[in-house]
Structure 1
Protein backbone atom coordinates (compact mmCIF):
# COMPACT_ATOMS: atom_id res chain seq x y z
CA UNK A 1 0.00 0.00 0.00
CA UNK A 2 2.83 2.34 0.87
CA UNK A 3 4.27 2.02 -2.67
CA UNK A 4 0.85 2.87 -4.16
CA UNK A 5 0.59 6.05 -2.11
CA UNK A 6 4.18 6.98 -3.04
CA UNK A 7 3.39 6.56 -6.73
CA UNK A 8 0.21 8.60 -6.36
CA UNK A 9 2.08 11.37 -4.56
CA UNK A 10 4.73 11.35 -7.30
CA UNK A 11 2.05 11.59 -10.02
CA UNK A 12 0.27 14.40 -8.16
CA UNK A 13 3.57 16.26 -7.95
CA UNK A 14 4.16 15.90 -11.70
CA UNK A 15 0.66 17.10 -12.51
CA UNK A 16 0.91 20.06 -10.15
CA UNK A 17 2.36 22.50 -12.67
CA UNK A 18 2.24 25.29 -10.12
CA UNK A 19 5.21 23.62 -8.42
CA UNK A 20 7.19 24.38 -11.60
CA UNK A 21 7.37 28.18 -11.57
CA UNK A 22 8.41 28.36 -15.23
CA UNK A 23 5.83 25.92 -16.65
CA UNK A 24 3.28 28.51 -17.74
CA UNK A 25 5.88 31.02 -18.93
CA UNK A 26 8.29 28.89 -20.94
CA UNK A 27 7.01 27.95 -24.41
CA UNK A 28 8.20 25.80 -27.30
CA UNK A 29 8.20 28.92 -29.47
CA UNK A 30 10.66 30.56 -27.09
CA UNK A 31 12.97 27.55 -27.20
CA UNK A 32 12.72 27.38 -31.00
CA UNK A 33 13.60 31.06 -31.28
CA UNK A 34 16.62 30.55 -29.03
CA UNK A 35 17.73 27.45 -30.96
CA UNK A 36 17.63 29.26 -34.31
CA UNK A 37 19.40 32.28 -32.81
CA UNK A 38 22.10 30.05 -31.33
CA UNK A 39 22.92 28.81 -34.84
CA UNK A 40 22.94 32.29 -36.42
CA UNK A 41 25.65 34.92 -36.75
CA UNK A 42 23.48 37.65 -35.23
CA UNK A 43 19.88 38.39 -34.21
CA UNK A 44 19.14 40.05 -37.54
CA UNK A 45 19.98 36.85 -39.40
CA UNK A 46 18.02 34.77 -36.85
CA UNK A 47 14.97 37.02 -37.24
CA UNK A 48 15.10 36.64 -41.03
CA UNK A 49 15.23 32.85 -40.69
CA UNK A 50 12.23 32.95 -38.34
CA UNK A 51 10.34 35.43 -40.55
CA UNK A 52 9.86 37.90 -37.69
CA UNK A 53 11.34 41.30 -36.87
CA UNK A 54 14.37 41.68 -34.64
CA UNK A 55 12.60 43.46 -31.72
CA UNK A 56 10.20 40.65 -30.68
CA UNK A 57 13.00 38.10 -31.04
CA UNK A 58 15.25 40.13 -28.74
CA UNK A 59 12.39 40.50 -26.25
CA UNK A 60 11.76 36.74 -26.27
CA UNK A 61 15.42 36.02 -25.60
CA UNK A 62 15.49 38.43 -22.63
CA UNK A 63 12.33 36.88 -21.24
CA UNK A 64 13.85 33.40 -21.61
CA UNK A 65 16.91 34.53 -19.66
CA UNK A 66 14.66 36.01 -16.96
CA UNK A 67 12.66 32.78 -16.63
CA UNK A 68 15.80 30.65 -16.33
CA UNK A 69 17.71 33.25 -14.28
CA UNK A 70 20.80 32.84 -16.45
CA UNK A 71 22.61 34.79 -19.15
CA UNK A 72 22.53 32.92 -22.44
CA UNK A 73 24.37 35.41 -24.63
CA UNK A 74 27.58 37.38 -24.25
CA UNK A 75 26.30 40.81 -25.25
CA UNK A 76 29.72 42.38 -25.33
CA UNK A 77 30.16 40.87 -28.79
CA UNK A 78 28.42 42.09 -31.96
CA UNK A 79 27.94 38.56 -33.25
CA UNK A 80 26.04 35.95 -31.25
CA UNK A 81 28.31 34.38 -28.65
CA UNK A 82 26.76 31.87 -26.24
CA UNK A 83 27.71 31.67 -22.60
CA UNK A 84 28.40 28.26 -21.08
CA UNK A 85 24.74 28.15 -19.99
CA UNK A 86 23.68 29.05 -23.54
CA UNK A 87 25.73 26.20 -25.02
CA UNK A 88 24.15 23.79 -22.53
CA UNK A 89 20.63 25.01 -23.36
CA UNK A 90 21.27 24.59 -27.08
CA UNK A 91 22.24 20.96 -26.46
CA UNK A 92 19.17 20.42 -24.28
CA UNK A 93 16.90 22.02 -26.90
CA UNK A 94 18.10 19.48 -29.45
CA UNK A 95 17.20 16.65 -27.02
CA UNK A 96 13.81 18.23 -26.22
CA UNK A 97 12.89 18.61 -29.90
CA UNK A 98 13.92 15.01 -30.67
CA UNK A 99 11.85 13.61 -27.79
CA UNK A 100 8.79 15.62 -28.81
CA UNK A 101 9.16 14.61 -32.46
CA UNK A 102 9.42 10.92 -31.55
CA UNK A 103 6.41 11.15 -29.26
CA UNK A 104 4.23 12.95 -31.79
CA UNK A 105 5.27 10.53 -34.53
CA UNK A 106 4.37 7.55 -32.36
CA UNK A 107 0.91 8.91 -31.68
CA UNK A 108 0.12 9.83 -35.31
CA UNK A 109 1.53 6.57 -36.63
CA UNK A 110 -0.42 4.57 -34.05
CA UNK A 111 -3.63 6.34 -35.05
CA UNK A 112 -3.11 5.62 -38.77
CA UNK A 113 -2.23 1.97 -38.19
CA UNK A 114 -5.17 1.30 -35.86
CA UNK A 115 -7.49 2.83 -38.45
CA UNK A 116 -5.90 0.77 -41.26
CA UNK A 117 -4.56 3.78 -43.15
CA UNK A 118 -1.21 3.75 -44.98
CA UNK A 119 0.31 6.65 -46.90
CA UNK A 120 2.67 6.02 -49.82
CA UNK A 121 4.97 8.64 -51.32
CA UNK A 122 5.33 8.06 -55.06
CA UNK A 123 6.90 9.38 -58.24
CA UNK A 124 4.53 9.16 -61.20
CA UNK A 125 6.81 7.17 -63.52
CA UNK A 126 6.56 4.03 -61.37
CA UNK A 127 3.03 3.45 -62.71
CA UNK A 128 4.60 2.79 -66.12
CA UNK A 129 6.45 -0.14 -64.54
CA UNK A 130 3.34 -1.90 -63.28
CA UNK A 131 2.88 -0.16 -59.93
CA UNK A 132 -0.80 0.50 -60.65
CA UNK A 133 -1.42 -3.21 -61.32
CA UNK A 134 0.50 -4.11 -58.16
CA UNK A 135 -1.61 -1.72 -56.07
CA UNK A 136 -4.82 -3.23 -57.42
CA UNK A 137 -3.63 -6.65 -56.28
CA UNK A 138 -2.51 -5.21 -52.96
CA UNK A 139 -5.97 -3.80 -52.27
CA UNK A 140 -7.44 -7.25 -52.89
CA UNK A 141 -4.95 -8.78 -50.47
CA UNK A 142 -5.53 -6.09 -47.81
CA UNK A 143 -9.20 -5.06 -48.26
CA UNK A 144 -9.42 -3.43 -44.81
CA UNK A 145 -6.50 -1.06 -45.38
CA UNK A 146 -7.04 2.36 -46.90
CA UNK A 147 -4.09 3.29 -49.13
CA UNK A 148 -3.33 6.94 -49.82
CA UNK A 149 -0.93 7.89 -52.62
CA UNK A 150 0.90 11.21 -52.34
CA UNK A 151 2.98 12.35 -55.31
CA UNK A 152 6.26 13.79 -53.99
CA UNK A 153 9.74 14.30 -55.39
CA UNK A 154 12.27 11.77 -54.06
CA UNK A 155 13.92 14.42 -51.90
CA UNK A 156 10.57 15.47 -50.47
CA UNK A 157 9.74 11.84 -49.73
CA UNK A 158 12.83 11.50 -47.56
CA UNK A 159 11.78 14.53 -45.53
CA UNK A 160 8.22 13.19 -45.30
CA UNK A 161 9.49 9.87 -43.92
CA UNK A 162 11.34 11.68 -41.14
CA UNK A 163 8.27 13.85 -40.41
CA UNK A 164 5.98 10.80 -40.38
CA UNK A 165 3.93 12.27 -43.23
CA UNK A 166 4.23 9.03 -45.24
CA UNK A 167 4.81 5.42 -44.21
CA UNK A 168 6.76 4.19 -47.25
CA UNK A 169 8.33 6.02 -50.18
CA UNK A 170 8.78 4.70 -53.72
CA UNK A 171 11.66 6.09 -55.79
CA UNK A 172 14.26 5.12 -58.39
CA UNK A 173 17.60 3.47 -57.57
CA UNK A 174 19.67 6.67 -57.76
CA UNK A 175 17.55 8.26 -55.03
CA UNK A 176 18.44 5.47 -52.57
CA UNK A 177 22.16 6.28 -52.53
CA UNK A 178 23.53 7.88 -49.36
CA UNK A 179 20.19 8.02 -47.52
CA UNK A 180 21.34 6.85 -44.05
CA UNK A 181 19.59 6.40 -41.62
CA UNK A 182 16.80 5.54 -44.08
CA UNK A 183 16.90 2.15 -45.75
CA UNK A 184 15.64 0.77 -49.06
CA UNK A 185 14.94 -2.43 -50.94
CA UNK A 186 14.33 -3.25 -54.61
CA UNK A 187 10.76 -3.76 -55.83
CA UNK A 188 11.37 -3.98 -59.54
CA UNK A 189 14.72 -4.11 -61.33
CA UNK A 190 15.30 -2.44 -64.68
CA UNK A 191 17.94 -0.42 -66.49
CA UNK A 192 18.02 2.63 -68.73
CA UNK A 193 17.51 2.77 -72.49
CA UNK A 194 17.64 5.55 -75.07
CA UNK A 195 14.49 7.34 -76.20
CA UNK A 196 14.73 9.04 -79.61
CA UNK A 197 12.32 10.72 -82.06
CA UNK A 198 11.20 8.29 -84.79
CA UNK A 199 12.97 10.35 -87.47
CA UNK A 200 16.31 10.40 -85.64
CA UNK A 201 19.29 9.03 -87.58
CA UNK A 202 20.09 6.51 -84.78
CA UNK A 203 16.58 5.24 -84.08
CA UNK A 204 17.00 2.09 -86.21
CA UNK A 205 20.07 0.87 -84.32
CA UNK A 206 19.58 -2.15 -82.06
CA UNK A 207 22.10 -0.96 -79.47
CA UNK A 208 23.99 2.26 -78.78
CA UNK A 209 26.90 3.26 -76.54
CA UNK A 210 26.85 6.45 -74.54
CA UNK A 211 29.79 7.68 -76.64
CA UNK A 212 27.52 7.50 -79.71
CA UNK A 213 25.44 10.27 -78.10
CA UNK A 214 28.27 12.72 -77.40
CA UNK A 215 27.05 15.25 -79.99
CA UNK A 216 23.34 14.89 -79.30
CA UNK A 217 20.99 17.33 -77.60
CA UNK A 218 19.49 15.94 -74.39
CA UNK A 219 16.19 16.48 -72.63
CA UNK A 220 16.33 15.37 -69.00
CA UNK A 221 14.39 15.30 -65.79
CA UNK A 222 15.24 18.17 -63.47
CA UNK A 223 18.50 17.40 -61.69
CA UNK A 224 17.11 19.15 -58.60
CA UNK A 225 14.33 16.60 -58.34
CA UNK A 226 15.84 13.48 -59.88
CA UNK A 227 19.05 11.79 -58.79
CA UNK A 228 18.61 9.53 -61.85
CA UNK A 229 19.38 12.51 -64.10
CA UNK A 230 22.57 13.14 -62.13
CA UNK A 231 23.48 9.45 -62.46
CA UNK A 232 23.09 9.64 -66.25
CA UNK A 233 25.32 12.73 -66.38
CA UNK A 234 27.96 10.96 -64.28
CA UNK A 235 27.97 7.99 -66.68
CA UNK A 236 28.32 10.32 -69.66
CA UNK A 237 31.30 12.04 -68.03
CA UNK A 238 32.92 8.63 -67.48
CA UNK A 239 32.57 8.08 -71.23
CA UNK A 240 34.44 11.32 -71.91
CA UNK A 241 31.74 13.92 -72.56
CA UNK A 242 29.34 16.24 -70.77
CA UNK A 243 25.83 15.88 -72.20
CA UNK A 244 24.44 18.96 -73.94
CA UNK A 245 21.18 19.44 -72.03
CA UNK A 246 18.82 21.78 -73.87
CA UNK A 247 15.88 21.37 -71.50
CA UNK A 248 15.05 20.00 -68.05
CA UNK A 249 11.49 19.04 -67.08
CA UNK A 250 9.71 18.00 -63.90
CA UNK A 251 7.18 15.46 -65.20
CA UNK A 252 8.04 12.27 -67.16
CA UNK A 253 5.05 12.84 -69.46
CA UNK A 254 6.43 16.26 -70.39
CA UNK A 255 9.81 14.65 -71.10
CA UNK A 256 8.29 12.20 -73.54
CA UNK A 257 6.16 14.86 -75.23
CA UNK A 258 9.24 16.98 -75.85
CA UNK A 259 10.99 14.01 -77.46
CA UNK A 260 7.92 13.31 -79.63
CA UNK A 261 8.20 16.86 -80.89
CA UNK A 262 11.71 16.05 -82.16
CA UNK A 263 13.39 18.41 -79.70
CA UNK A 264 16.06 16.10 -78.28
CA UNK A 265 16.78 12.62 -76.99
CA UNK A 266 16.85 11.20 -73.49
CA UNK A 267 17.98 8.26 -71.38
CA UNK A 268 15.01 6.80 -69.55
CA UNK A 269 13.97 3.64 -67.65
CA UNK A 270 13.11 0.69 -69.92
CA UNK A 271 9.55 0.65 -68.57
CA UNK A 272 8.82 3.94 -70.37
CA UNK A 273 8.66 1.87 -73.58
CA UNK A 274 5.55 0.07 -72.27
CA UNK A 275 3.46 3.11 -73.11
CA UNK A 276 2.20 3.87 -76.58
CA UNK A 277 4.30 6.65 -78.12
CA UNK A 278 3.57 7.34 -81.79
CA UNK A 279 6.80 9.12 -82.63
CA UNK A 280 9.35 7.71 -80.16
CA UNK A 281 11.69 4.77 -80.61
CA UNK A 282 13.64 3.02 -77.85
CA UNK A 283 17.15 1.66 -78.35
CA UNK A 284 19.05 -0.57 -75.96
CA UNK A 285 21.90 1.14 -74.10
CA UNK A 286 25.12 -0.91 -73.99
CA UNK A 287 26.19 0.51 -70.62
CA UNK A 288 24.13 -0.60 -67.64
CA UNK A 289 22.60 2.32 -65.76
CA UNK A 290 20.25 1.01 -63.05
CA UNK A 291 16.75 2.46 -62.81
CA UNK A 292 15.27 0.05 -60.26
CA UNK A 293 12.10 0.99 -58.42
CA UNK A 294 12.75 0.85 -54.69
CA UNK A 295 10.82 1.13 -51.46
CA UNK A 296 12.32 3.61 -48.97
CA UNK A 297 11.46 3.55 -45.28
CA UNK A 298 12.65 4.45 -41.80
CA UNK A 299 13.98 1.26 -40.12
CA UNK A 300 12.68 2.32 -36.70
CA UNK A 301 9.15 2.73 -38.05
CA UNK A 302 8.88 -0.30 -40.32
CA UNK A 303 6.76 -3.13 -38.88
CA UNK A 304 6.53 -6.78 -39.88
CA UNK A 305 3.17 -6.05 -41.52
CA UNK A 306 4.70 -3.27 -43.61
CA UNK A 307 7.61 -5.51 -44.58
CA UNK A 308 5.15 -8.18 -45.72
CA UNK A 309 3.27 -5.54 -47.71
CA UNK A 310 6.48 -4.45 -49.46
CA UNK A 311 7.24 -8.09 -50.32
CA UNK A 312 3.76 -8.44 -51.82
CA UNK A 313 4.33 -5.33 -53.96
CA UNK A 314 7.58 -6.86 -55.17
CA UNK A 315 5.76 -10.02 -56.29
CA UNK A 316 2.89 -8.12 -57.92
CA UNK A 317 5.11 -5.67 -59.81
CA UNK A 318 7.14 -8.49 -61.31
CA UNK A 319 3.92 -10.27 -62.28
CA UNK A 320 2.44 -7.19 -63.98
CA UNK A 321 1.76 -7.37 -67.75
CA UNK A 322 4.85 -6.36 -69.74
CA UNK A 323 2.85 -4.42 -72.31
CA UNK A 324 0.13 -1.87 -71.60
CA UNK A 325 -2.57 -1.42 -74.24
CA UNK A 326 -2.96 2.07 -75.65
Structure 2
Protein backbone atom coordinates (compact mmCIF):
# COMPACT_ATOMS: atom_id res chain seq x y z
CA UNK A 1 0.00 0.00 0.00
CA UNK A 2 1.42 3.36 -1.05
CA UNK A 3 0.47 6.88 -0.04
CA UNK A 4 -0.99 7.58 -3.48
CA UNK A 5 -3.46 4.72 -2.96
CA UNK A 6 -4.67 6.44 0.23
CA UNK A 7 -5.00 9.84 -1.42
CA UNK A 8 -6.82 8.36 -4.43
CA UNK A 9 -9.20 6.50 -2.11
CA UNK A 10 -10.01 9.67 -0.14
CA UNK A 11 -10.63 11.69 -3.31
CA UNK A 12 -13.01 9.03 -4.63
CA UNK A 13 -14.78 8.79 -1.27
CA UNK A 14 -15.25 12.56 -1.22
CA UNK A 15 -16.44 12.88 -4.84
CA UNK A 16 -18.53 9.68 -4.89
CA UNK A 17 -17.65 9.53 -8.56
CA UNK A 18 -14.48 8.07 -10.09
CA UNK A 19 -14.52 10.38 -13.12
CA UNK A 20 -14.78 13.54 -11.01
CA UNK A 21 -12.14 12.26 -8.59
CA UNK A 22 -9.79 11.47 -11.48
CA UNK A 23 -10.20 15.01 -12.82
CA UNK A 24 -9.34 16.45 -9.40
CA UNK A 25 -6.29 14.18 -9.16
CA UNK A 26 -5.21 14.94 -12.77
CA UNK A 27 -5.14 11.27 -13.73
CA UNK A 28 -7.33 9.18 -16.03
CA UNK A 29 -10.41 7.41 -14.75
CA UNK A 30 -9.05 3.93 -15.70
CA UNK A 31 -5.86 4.69 -13.77
CA UNK A 32 -7.88 5.62 -10.69
CA UNK A 33 -10.06 2.52 -10.98
CA UNK A 34 -6.94 0.34 -11.25
CA UNK A 35 -5.36 1.96 -8.18
CA UNK A 36 -8.55 1.49 -6.14
CA UNK A 37 -8.74 -2.15 -7.26
CA UNK A 38 -5.14 -2.68 -6.11
CA UNK A 39 -5.99 -1.18 -2.73
CA UNK A 40 -9.09 -3.35 -2.34
CA UNK A 41 -7.11 -6.47 -3.27
CA UNK A 42 -4.44 -5.66 -0.69
CA UNK A 43 -7.01 -5.00 2.05
CA UNK A 44 -9.07 -8.01 1.05
CA UNK A 45 -12.53 -6.47 0.66
CA UNK A 46 -14.52 -4.00 -1.40
CA UNK A 47 -14.30 -0.40 -0.25
CA UNK A 48 -16.88 0.95 -2.70
CA UNK A 49 -20.26 -0.11 -4.02
CA UNK A 50 -20.66 0.85 -7.68
CA UNK A 51 -24.12 2.32 -8.33
CA UNK A 52 -24.45 3.47 -11.94
CA UNK A 53 -21.96 6.29 -12.46
CA UNK A 54 -21.66 6.92 -8.75
CA UNK A 55 -19.85 5.07 -5.98
CA UNK A 56 -20.51 4.92 -2.29
CA UNK A 57 -18.47 3.58 0.57
CA UNK A 58 -19.17 0.13 1.94
CA UNK A 59 -19.15 -0.40 5.70
CA UNK A 60 -15.49 -1.44 5.39
CA UNK A 61 -14.84 1.68 3.31
CA UNK A 62 -16.35 3.93 5.98
CA UNK A 63 -14.07 2.36 8.59
CA UNK A 64 -10.99 2.58 6.37
CA UNK A 65 -11.67 6.25 5.57
CA UNK A 66 -11.17 7.27 9.22
CA UNK A 67 -7.77 5.58 9.34
CA UNK A 68 -6.84 6.89 5.90
CA UNK A 69 -7.55 10.50 6.92
CA UNK A 70 -5.34 10.10 9.99
CA UNK A 71 -2.52 8.59 7.91
CA UNK A 72 -2.59 11.45 5.41
CA UNK A 73 -2.70 14.04 8.20
CA UNK A 74 0.36 12.53 9.86
CA UNK A 75 2.31 12.41 6.60
CA UNK A 76 1.34 16.01 5.78
CA UNK A 77 2.33 17.11 9.28
CA UNK A 78 5.72 15.42 8.91
CA UNK A 79 6.26 17.04 5.53
CA UNK A 80 5.30 20.47 6.85
CA UNK A 81 7.60 20.07 9.84
CA UNK A 82 10.55 19.19 7.58
CA UNK A 83 9.85 22.10 5.25
CA UNK A 84 9.63 24.45 8.21
CA UNK A 85 13.03 23.50 9.61
CA UNK A 86 15.29 26.50 9.85
CA UNK A 87 13.09 28.99 7.98
CA UNK A 88 9.65 30.48 7.55
CA UNK A 89 10.03 31.44 3.91
CA UNK A 90 7.17 29.23 2.72
CA UNK A 91 4.21 27.47 4.25
CA UNK A 92 0.55 27.73 5.08
CA UNK A 93 -1.43 28.27 8.23
CA UNK A 94 -5.14 27.87 8.97
CA UNK A 95 -6.63 29.25 12.16
CA UNK A 96 -10.14 29.40 13.56
CA UNK A 97 -11.42 32.43 15.46
CA UNK A 98 -14.68 33.73 16.88
CA UNK A 99 -16.38 36.51 14.94
CA UNK A 100 -15.69 39.56 17.09
CA UNK A 101 -12.00 38.64 17.39
CA UNK A 102 -11.58 38.60 13.61
CA UNK A 103 -13.45 41.92 13.32
CA UNK A 104 -11.41 44.03 15.71
CA UNK A 105 -8.42 42.37 17.38
CA UNK A 106 -7.00 40.10 14.68
CA UNK A 107 -6.38 42.54 11.76
CA UNK A 108 -3.32 44.30 13.28
CA UNK A 109 -1.88 40.91 14.27
CA UNK A 110 -2.31 39.63 10.72
CA UNK A 111 -0.70 42.77 9.32
CA UNK A 112 2.32 42.28 11.59
CA UNK A 113 2.60 38.58 10.69
CA UNK A 114 2.30 39.23 6.95
CA UNK A 115 5.05 41.84 7.08
CA UNK A 116 7.35 39.50 9.01
CA UNK A 117 6.56 36.31 7.04
CA UNK A 118 5.29 37.26 3.56
CA UNK A 119 5.77 33.73 2.24
CA UNK A 120 3.29 32.17 4.67
CA UNK A 121 -0.26 31.86 3.34
CA UNK A 122 -2.74 32.43 6.18
CA UNK A 123 -6.37 31.27 6.10
CA UNK A 124 -8.71 32.59 8.81
CA UNK A 125 -12.05 30.89 9.44
CA UNK A 126 -14.80 32.34 11.63
CA UNK A 127 -16.18 29.36 13.55
CA UNK A 128 -18.46 28.62 16.50
CA UNK A 129 -16.52 27.01 19.35
CA UNK A 130 -18.00 23.54 18.80
CA UNK A 131 -17.11 23.55 15.11
CA UNK A 132 -13.65 24.90 15.95
CA UNK A 133 -12.97 22.02 18.35
CA UNK A 134 -14.17 19.51 15.73
CA UNK A 135 -11.84 20.92 13.08
CA UNK A 136 -8.96 20.96 15.56
CA UNK A 137 -9.49 17.28 16.38
CA UNK A 138 -9.60 16.43 12.68
CA UNK A 139 -6.45 18.44 11.95
CA UNK A 140 -8.19 20.90 9.61
CA UNK A 141 -6.96 23.99 11.49
CA UNK A 142 -3.63 24.61 13.24
CA UNK A 143 -5.15 26.29 16.28
CA UNK A 144 -8.11 28.37 17.33
CA UNK A 145 -8.97 31.42 19.41
CA UNK A 146 -12.20 30.79 21.31
CA UNK A 147 -14.02 31.04 24.58
CA UNK A 148 -12.86 28.41 27.07
CA UNK A 149 -12.90 25.92 28.51
CA UNK A 150 -13.09 23.43 25.62
CA UNK A 151 -15.61 20.60 25.69
CA UNK A 152 -13.33 17.99 24.08
CA UNK A 153 -10.63 16.16 26.04
CA UNK A 154 -8.23 16.31 23.07
CA UNK A 155 -8.30 20.13 23.00
CA UNK A 156 -6.07 22.21 25.30
CA UNK A 157 -6.90 25.83 26.20
CA UNK A 158 -4.35 28.48 27.18
CA UNK A 159 -5.88 31.69 28.53
CA UNK A 160 -5.15 34.86 26.55
CA UNK A 161 -7.31 37.48 28.28
CA UNK A 162 -10.68 38.16 29.87
CA UNK A 163 -13.25 40.53 28.44
CA UNK A 164 -16.61 41.98 29.41
CA UNK A 165 -19.73 41.92 27.31
CA UNK A 166 -21.50 45.22 26.75
CA UNK A 167 -24.85 46.19 25.32
CA UNK A 168 -24.09 47.64 21.88
CA UNK A 169 -26.57 50.22 20.59
CA UNK A 170 -26.94 52.75 17.79
CA UNK A 171 -28.26 56.31 17.95
CA UNK A 172 -31.91 55.18 17.63
CA UNK A 173 -31.79 53.07 20.79
CA UNK A 174 -33.31 54.56 23.98
CA UNK A 175 -30.16 53.65 25.94
CA UNK A 176 -27.73 55.35 23.54
CA UNK A 177 -25.33 57.50 25.58
CA UNK A 178 -26.09 55.85 28.92
CA UNK A 179 -23.10 54.38 30.82
CA UNK A 180 -24.71 51.28 32.38
CA UNK A 181 -27.84 49.14 32.37
CA UNK A 182 -29.04 46.45 34.77
CA UNK A 183 -29.95 43.06 33.34
CA UNK A 184 -33.51 43.37 34.63
CA UNK A 185 -33.99 46.62 32.70
CA UNK A 186 -32.26 45.23 29.62
CA UNK A 187 -34.80 42.39 29.43
CA UNK A 188 -37.37 44.99 28.30
CA UNK A 189 -35.43 45.85 25.12
CA UNK A 190 -35.17 43.84 21.91
CA UNK A 191 -31.84 42.13 21.18
CA UNK A 192 -30.18 40.65 18.11
CA UNK A 193 -28.22 37.56 19.20
CA UNK A 194 -25.89 35.06 17.62
CA UNK A 195 -27.47 31.66 17.05
CA UNK A 196 -27.25 28.89 19.62
CA UNK A 197 -24.15 27.16 18.27
CA UNK A 198 -22.13 30.12 19.56
CA UNK A 199 -21.03 29.66 23.18
CA UNK A 200 -21.65 33.33 24.03
CA UNK A 201 -25.39 32.78 23.48
CA UNK A 202 -25.54 30.32 26.38
CA UNK A 203 -23.42 32.63 28.52
CA UNK A 204 -25.84 35.51 27.97
CA UNK A 205 -28.95 33.44 28.66
CA UNK A 206 -27.38 32.10 31.88
CA UNK A 207 -26.60 35.67 33.02
CA UNK A 208 -30.21 36.75 32.48
CA UNK A 209 -31.47 33.65 34.31
CA UNK A 210 -29.20 34.41 37.27
CA UNK A 211 -30.94 37.79 37.55
CA UNK A 212 -34.39 36.19 37.39
CA UNK A 213 -35.30 37.38 33.90
CA UNK A 214 -35.12 36.39 30.23
CA UNK A 215 -33.64 38.21 27.22
CA UNK A 216 -36.05 39.62 24.64
CA UNK A 217 -34.51 38.12 21.51
CA UNK A 218 -36.01 39.85 18.49
CA UNK A 219 -33.62 38.43 15.87
CA UNK A 220 -30.96 35.72 15.50
CA UNK A 221 -28.03 35.81 13.07
CA UNK A 222 -24.90 33.70 12.62
CA UNK A 223 -22.50 36.53 11.75
CA UNK A 224 -21.35 39.67 13.54
CA UNK A 225 -21.33 41.98 10.50
CA UNK A 226 -25.09 41.91 9.74
CA UNK A 227 -25.83 42.18 13.46
CA UNK A 228 -23.79 45.39 13.71
CA UNK A 229 -25.29 46.79 10.50
CA UNK A 230 -28.82 46.20 11.82
CA UNK A 231 -28.02 47.70 15.23
CA UNK A 232 -26.72 50.87 13.55
CA UNK A 233 -30.01 51.53 11.76
CA UNK A 234 -32.57 50.27 14.30
CA UNK A 235 -33.66 50.51 17.92
CA UNK A 236 -32.40 46.98 18.62
CA UNK A 237 -29.22 46.23 20.55
CA UNK A 238 -26.80 43.32 20.82
CA UNK A 239 -24.32 41.98 23.37
CA UNK A 240 -20.69 41.93 22.27
CA UNK A 241 -17.21 42.49 23.62
CA UNK A 242 -16.65 46.00 24.96
CA UNK A 243 -13.19 45.85 23.29
CA UNK A 244 -14.88 45.48 19.91
CA UNK A 245 -17.36 48.33 20.35
CA UNK A 246 -14.66 50.89 21.12
CA UNK A 247 -13.27 50.43 17.61
CA UNK A 248 -16.57 50.82 15.74
CA UNK A 249 -17.99 54.21 14.68
CA UNK A 250 -21.66 54.97 15.23
CA UNK A 251 -22.08 52.47 18.06
CA UNK A 252 -22.13 52.98 21.82
CA UNK A 253 -21.27 50.46 24.56
CA UNK A 254 -23.50 50.31 27.64
CA UNK A 255 -21.84 48.34 30.44
CA UNK A 256 -23.89 45.58 32.06
CA UNK A 257 -24.73 45.31 35.75
CA UNK A 258 -23.76 42.81 36.99
CA UNK A 259 -20.95 42.35 34.43
CA UNK A 260 -20.73 39.32 32.13
CA UNK A 261 -17.08 38.26 31.88
CA UNK A 262 -15.74 35.60 29.52
CA UNK A 263 -12.29 34.08 29.00
CA UNK A 264 -10.65 34.08 25.58
CA UNK A 265 -8.21 31.20 25.08
CA UNK A 266 -5.85 29.73 22.52
CA UNK A 267 -7.11 26.24 21.57
CA UNK A 268 -4.66 23.58 20.38
CA UNK A 269 -4.94 19.84 19.76
CA UNK A 270 -3.28 17.65 22.37
CA UNK A 271 -0.10 15.90 21.16
CA UNK A 272 -0.36 17.51 17.71
CA UNK A 273 2.78 18.45 15.81
CA UNK A 274 3.04 22.25 15.60
CA UNK A 275 4.50 23.91 12.52
CA UNK A 276 6.94 26.79 12.78
CA UNK A 277 4.34 29.07 11.17
CA UNK A 278 1.75 28.10 13.79
CA UNK A 279 4.25 28.68 16.59
CA UNK A 280 5.13 32.12 15.21
CA UNK A 281 1.48 33.19 14.86
CA UNK A 282 0.54 31.83 18.29
CA UNK A 283 3.47 33.67 19.88
CA UNK A 284 2.41 36.91 18.18
CA UNK A 285 -1.18 36.54 19.40
CA UNK A 286 -0.03 35.83 22.97
CA UNK A 287 2.28 38.85 22.98
CA UNK A 288 -0.58 41.12 21.88
CA UNK A 289 -2.53 40.74 25.14
TM-score of the pair, normalised by structure 1: 0.63
Query: Offset at 1:141?
Result: 3.7
CA RMSD of aligned residues (A): 3.3
Query: In the alignment, does 2:176 pair up with 1:203?
Result: yes
More deviation, 110-119/281-290: 110-119
**Cα contact 1:191–1:292 (8 A) shared by 2:** no
Matches of 1:254 and 1:27, distance apart in 2: 48
Matches of 2:281 and 2:230, distance apart in 1: 37
- State how 1:35-184 maps to structure 2 within 5 Å: 99-113=67-81, 114=83, 116-171=91-146, 173=147, 176-184=149-157
1:241 is matched with which residue: 213, 222, 230?
A: 213
Secondary structure at the aligned position of 1:111 is classed as helix
1:208–1:24: structure 2 CA closer, same or farther, 3 Å change rule? closer
Gaps of at least 5 residues in structure 1 are: 1-20, 31-51, 65-92, 319-326
The aligned residue for residue 268 of structure 1 is: 240
**Cα contact 2:100–2:240 (8 A) shared by 1:** no
Matches of 1:267 and 1:150, distance apart in 2: 22
TM-score of the pair, normalised by structure 2: 0.70
The aligned residue for residue 160 of structure 2 is: 187
Which structure has more strand as a fraction of its residues? 2
Query: Offset at 1:118?
Result: 1.4
The aligned residue for residue 212 of structure 1 is: 185
The aligned residue for residue 288 of structure 1 is: 259
The aligned residue for residue 299 of structure 1 is: 270
The aligned residue for residue 23 of structure 1 is: 42
Query: Offset at 1:121?
Result: 2.1
Matches of 1:286 and 1:302, distance apart in 2: 43
Deviation per residue, 1:241-267 (Å, 9 max, x gap): 111211001111111122222242221
